Structure 1
Amino acid sequence: MSDGIAGSTDSAGADVAQADTAAVTTVSSHFKMVFIAVVVITVGALAANLYIAIFVPKPTEAAKSAMDTCATIANLGFGAIVGLLGGKAV
């Protein structure tokens, strides 16, 4: 009669709720190394892009190309960071 109730009970009447246990995500040293490397490369590319944009008064085509490359690397780095964190959360 109580088949539709959300918490099943065992023969002693105690709740058999497994929602109390939290999932634990372990982070290996390999993951930390890759994550830190991606963060360093991303921040470095972003810093180089900002440096060229701020301190080069009249950028040449080469400077503009370097800025575009740094912006692309920074975008890819942010995507990799999100992907690494999302993959670890699953």
Structure 2
Amino acid sequence: MSSEVVGTSAEAVQDVEQSQVQSRQVEATTVTPLFRLVFLAVLGITIGCLVLEVAIVVAKDNPNESTKTLLESLSTIVKMGFGAIIGLLGGKASAL
């Protein structure tokens, strides 16, 4: 009688462990061509603006008002691009 209880509880433990392993498995998400295009466009614009901003700062010792405005605009674009990248990746991760 006690061996039946031990056998049944061992099977129950094994079933629970197996269900936990199955729940931990991560499904792979597919990256569509449209997502890849949007992500790479945002990434390219962000990196391009960042490089341009750094180049202007290095080249100009004493920037005038129009250069300062341009630098502020480039900085804003970089911040928005970074936010868009995080949003795209977060949206893709939540699709899991």
TM-score calculated relative to the size of structure 2: 0.75
Unaligned runs of 5+ in 1: 1-7
Q: Would you identify which runs of 4 or more consecutive aligned residues in structure 1 move more than 4 Å? A: none
Figure out how many residues of one structure are paired with residues of the other and give that number. Answer: 80
Work out which of the residue numbers 41, 47, 57 in structure 2 matches 1:43. Answer: 47
Question: In structure 2, do the counterparts of structure 1 residues 87 and 20 end up closer, same or farther at CA, with 3 Å as the change threshold?
Answer: closer
Q: What corresponds to 1:58 in structure 2?
A: 62
Structure with greater Cα Rg:
2
Counterparts of 2:68 and 2:35 in 1: how far apart (Å)? 34
Work out which of the residue numbers 15, 23, 30 in structure 2 matches 1:19. Answer: 23
Q: Greater relative contact order (Cα 8 A, min sep 6): structure 1 or 2? A: 2
Q: What corresponds to 2:6 in structure 1?
A: none
TM-align CA RMSD: 1.9
Question: Which one has a larger percent helix, Structure 1 or Structure 2?
Answer: 2
